[in-house]
Amino acid sequence: MAKSVKLINNGLRVNPDLQKERDTGTFNIVELTNIIDGGPERTKRRHELEQLLFSDPVFTNPNRAFLSKSQLYDYGVQKSVKLFHLKRKYQWNEEDYFMAESLLRKEISLSLHHTMFIPAIERLATDEQKAKWLPLAQSFKILGTYAQTELGHGTNLLGLETTATFDQSTDEFVLRTPKITSMKWWPGGLGKSSTHAIVLAQLIIDNKSYGMHPFMVQLRSLDDHTPLPGIKVGDIGPKIAINTVDNGFLILNQVRIPRDQMLMKNAKVSRSGKFTSVGNSKANYATMMLVRVNMTNWAANIACGSVTAAMRYSCVRRQSALKPGGEEEQVINYQSQQYKLFPALATAYALTFASQQLHDYYYKIYPQLARGSYTNLAELHSQSSALKAISGELSVHHSEICRRACGGHGYLWYAGLGEAVAGGASIITAEGENTVLYQQTARYLMKQVALNVSGQTLNGFTSYLNNDDIYVNPIEKSEHCHDLQILTDIYQNMANRIIKKTAHRLHADMSSGLEQHIAWNKNMIQLVRSAQVHSHMSIVKAFITSVQSLVLSPVLKQVLHRLCVFYCLYGIINNSGDFIETSSINLNQLELMREEEIKLLSQIRPDAVSLVDAFDIHDETLCSVLGVYDGNVYEKLYESTQQEPMNKTDVHPSYYKYIRDLLHSTPQSKL
């Protein structure tokens, strides 16, 4: 029997259908929650922070749907500042702070101060510069953002047009955005909040460009917050979602800063104007890679929240009857509904484990980068690009399926699912548009294939490319479809063959005399496809290795193994062309997998609610009337209408302005 994490204390009993689901679960929910959180102490700490935050009216949001953009921003700033005060009051470490911030699901306005500004100082500044800037940022004496993207340039960092020209006579850099396309555009917190920005600009010394480098630029007065001379800054306007954040534009007109405000960990400019490269220039991308790592976690959180809301609602909602004349059936009992939600459930777990593994890999590699060792930098860049791209796409795809699975009610703002889809969509283009990121991963994969062809044994995330043996799929009976090693081999063979086939085509085109850039564009569709199959395989492998390596009770081991097998089979069946084309499976094996996939639906069904309950998402974090823990969906839906300003009066003013005359007018006869 499942053991629930939370108790209901709002005076309403738990919906009986939802309680029945919890009573019939087969595993201990707390055990799985602890694994997702990273241990029982982290779960305990999260509950303490939830109690602290959600007992404060600042962090509850019943009327957010009806706020203007300016009011949303004001609301987000209030939350941010209160969170900063709590961090200072309780002396939270960074882990506590980020845990608290995650509970608010990106509804705060000043998040980039911690997620990009401070990490950029830590990664790009010298020790002396860190000693100056970090205490100011950590004590909130200054508020900052990271200004890289321009109006005319996003992912193509080499094309950035903002310039920082060294003036040796004054020992200063002069920053300019010379064209309309040069202005910084999109950085969060830039529009109205930040006093400082780390600006990425092309370094110019004696009319010679030395590439992109980071510069600390003060934007606003620390006395009255007005923009400084030469700086024009503002908000870029309403977005599809996340309007608590003031994404901004920045125009720089001959803005002068001292030479020591170029962050010089990886490159230096002397008083005489001599440029010296200290390390790998790509190390300047360390902050961006960290954000991509974090975005995989944001994508996982969105997927977890969406499937939680849809799964609970599907157990509460009854619709029609399977047996004529019988009781209306829980929607979750329809196989078609299960085939919408169980893939979303499995994907949420797959993304959770994959994001955790990527996070661990980043913090394993980062100390090496900090010491100036860049051996694993290219792999980190490739893998963070790949997983950021596929995580966002999978999260948005399955969140939209969850929204549709809730029927008409899923279209309501208070359902929370539309906002999840819209907010998740930002991941697809933020910090690198996905198609471009897939190309960056593909470029790394092509280099890895070339190394392997030259006789080098590959390690890490591309070690599967070493395998050139004749592949024989051993699936002959249903039990083989549940063997995680067999499923791993199937995915790795598929990815191996597609990637190497693409590499062969690219090499053949270049050998025929095509210039590299022409050959690349000619094969771009296959190159992107290569990165996508590598990304998909990486997610699958992360799920499998987690299930295999985690210390679990036998019951929970079986539950997660079953869900993992379902995820693998679903991925094969829904991308069957890739697997058939590469002879990773044949048509008979595909049919056998379809049969096993359908069987797994009924096996997952008893634990469906327990598996979403294990995410342990607080109602205030979830923000969904359809997904409330107590299952009192219809009461919550009606309560939400009482927040609607139009319902404050029985008759809307438009009646007196337009409708009354229409209803009481006498039709004019034709002459």
Q: Which helix (H) or strand (E) holds 210?
A: strand 208-218
The phi, psi pair for 478, rounded to 5°, reads -60, -35
Residue 148 and residue 157 in contact, taking contact as beta carbons nearer than 8 Å: yes
Cα 253 to Cα 173, 192, 231, 233: the distances in Å are 12, 19, 6, 11
Please name which of 144, 137, 165 lies closest in space to residue 220, comparing C-alpha atoms: 144
CA distance 504 to 508: 6
By CB neighbour count within 10 A (0-12 exposed, 13-18 middle, 19+ buried), where does 24 fall? middle
Strands (E) in 90-182, as ranges, are 144-147, 163-167, 172-176
Q: Is 249 exposed, middle or buried (0-12, 13-18, 19+ CB in 10 A)?
A: buried
Q: Output the six-digit token pair for 39.
A: 């241990």
Length of the chain: 671
Which has the closest alpha carbon to 368: 286, 293, 437, 441?
A: 286
Is 431 labeled as catalytic in the residue annotation?
yes
Q: Is 184 helix (H, G, I), strand (E, B) or coil?
A: strand
What 3 state SS string does 590-610 have?
HHHHHHHHHHHHHHHHHHHHH
DSSP 366: H
> Which of 558, 603, 342, 568 is CA-nearest to residue 475?
568
Cα separation of 1 and 194, whole Å?
A: 51
| Cα→Cα distances 255→215, 229, 295, 566, 593, Å | 12, 8, 33, 57, 63
Q: In this structure, how many other beta carbons lie within 10 angstroms of the beta carbon of residue 525?
A: 10
The SS3 call for residue 409 is helix
The runs of H, that is alpha helices, within 285-334 are 286-316
DSSP state of 552: -
| Active-site pick, 150, 419, 431, 596 | 431
Indicate the burial class of 126 (C-beta count within 10 angstroms; 0-12, 13-18, 19 or more): middle
Q: Hey, is 93 helix, strand or coil? A: coil
Residues 133, 137: Cα–Cα separation, whole Å: 6
Q: Which amino acid is at 497?
A: R
Element housing 436 (H / E): helix 434-453
Q: What is the set of active-site residues?
A: 431
